[in-house]
Amino acid sequence: MDGREMRDYIPYQVEIVDIDRVTSDSYLISLQILDREVFRYRPGQFIMVSVFGLGECPISIASTPTRNTLQICIRRAGKITSGIMDSMIGDVLGVRGPCGNGFPLDFMKKDILIAGGGSGFATLRSLINFIADRREQFGNVAVAYGARTRQDLYFMQEYKGWQMAGIQVAVTVDVGDQGWTGNVGMVTSLLDRLEIPPGSAAICGPPVMINSVAARLMEKGFQLPDIFVSLERHMKCGVGKCEHCMIGPHHVCMEGPVFSYDRVRQYL
């Protein structure tokens, strides 16, 4: 099996145990895997999710391994994600993985800035909740998150809990409305208001957002090898065979999706 485990090729069967609406077009789906000792993952990894008869697609893990439930955040984007979103509690899906590399927490500094844009925030939720559950192992932690409108913000009901865990949270939208009293502007506009010394950073979002946030952090004293980015690419196999996910010389599904920024910035 070319050095890989059977789980890299054959899906587990998992049962949908809960479905929560995150935004008007996104669901947080909780899955039950019977053998958690077999399925171990790290914040930042992804899984290949299959709907029997339709196929499979890569989905970031939105939950933290410090808790019991495996969760994915789904937005309708094609036939497979539509099949997942049309599923009901009690239905069975296939899960292959976990795939790729997550955030290297053993090597990251204890002061961490987490910056997300749009639906990329689902990946970062895993990291945020991991830190919240093991708060004593980290120093200053701050979250900067932006979405297009107030209605597009993910996980709004969780912000207060993160703040109670001693995590700074700053949120912005591109377009405000009469019900929005917070910041309007890019994610970079939040960075100056957050009190966090130069440490490590975790970023996920569109390439233009990643580059602008990374540039601002370097101005604030962050070092390139300490900035980690989670990349989204069109993945088909999850095991480095199809090469749909190549960015420069790198297989995102195998070497990523989390990279140190100095390795990939020239390709973004």
- Kindly write down the DSSP assignment for every residue of 61-88, as one continuous string: B-S-TTSS-EEEEEE--SHHHHHHHT--
**More confident of the two residues 38 and 265:** 265
Sheet holding 258-260, edge to edge: 183-184, 167-173, 141-147, 112-117, 200-204, 227-230, 258-260
Whether 52 shows a pLDDT value over 60: the answer reads yes
- Sequence length of the chain is 268
Mean pLDDT in residue range 45-49: 94
d(CA 178, CA 180) in angstroms, rounded, equals: 6
Residue 218 and residue 211 in contact, taking contact as beta carbons nearer than 8 Å: no
Specify the pTM: 0.93
Mean pLDDT in residue range 233-241: 77
Mean pLDDT in residue range 103-115: 96
Among left, alpha and beta (phi > 0; psi -120 to 50; other), residue 220 is: alpha
Residue 111 and residue 200 in contact, taking contact as beta carbons nearer than 8 Å: yes
pLDDT classification of 87: cutoffs 50, 70, 90: very high
pLDDT classification of 2: cutoffs 50, 70, 90: very low
Q: What is the pLDDT of residues 4-42, one digit of tens each?
A: 566 677 888 899 999 999 988 899 999 997 665 567 899
pLDDT confidence of residue 186: 93
Question: Which are the contacts of 97, defined by CB distance < 8 A and separation ≥ 6?
Answer: 7, 8, 41, 45, 46, 47, 48, 238
Burial class (CB in 10 A: 0-12, 13-18, 19+), 2: exposed
Mean pLDDT in residue range 137-157: 95
Query: Domains of the chain: which residue ranges?
Result: 6-98, 112-233+250-267
In the CATH hierarchy, which fold is given to the domain comprising 6-98? Answer: Elongation Factor Tu (Ef-tu); domain 3 (2.40.30)
Domain boundaries 112-233+250-267, CATH class: alpha beta
* Listed residue (267, 254, 261) closest to 108, CA to CA: 261
Looking up tokens 């795939």 gives 99
Whether 103 shows a pLDDT value over 90: the answer reads yes
Q: What is the pLDDT of residues 189-224, one digit of tens each?
A: 999 889 889 999 999 999 999 999 999 999 999 999
Mean pLDDT in residue range 179-196: 90
Q: Please state, for a pLDDT cut of 90, what percent of the chain lies above it.
A: 72
pLDDT confidence of residue 35: 61
> Are 6-98 and 112-233+250-267 in the same CATH fold?
no
Q: Residue 54: helix, strand or coil by DSSP?
A: coil
Q: Please state, for a pLDDT cut of 70, what percent of the chain lies above it.
A: 95
pLDDT confidence of residue 132: 97
* Listed residue (56, 60, 31) closest to 45, CA to CA: 60
pLDDT confidence of residue 243: 83
Q: Please give the mean pLDDT across all residues of the chain.
A: 91
What is the torsional sign of CA 241, 242, 245, 248?
positive
Angstrom CA distances, 244 to 10, 154, 204, 229, stand at 20, 28, 20, 19
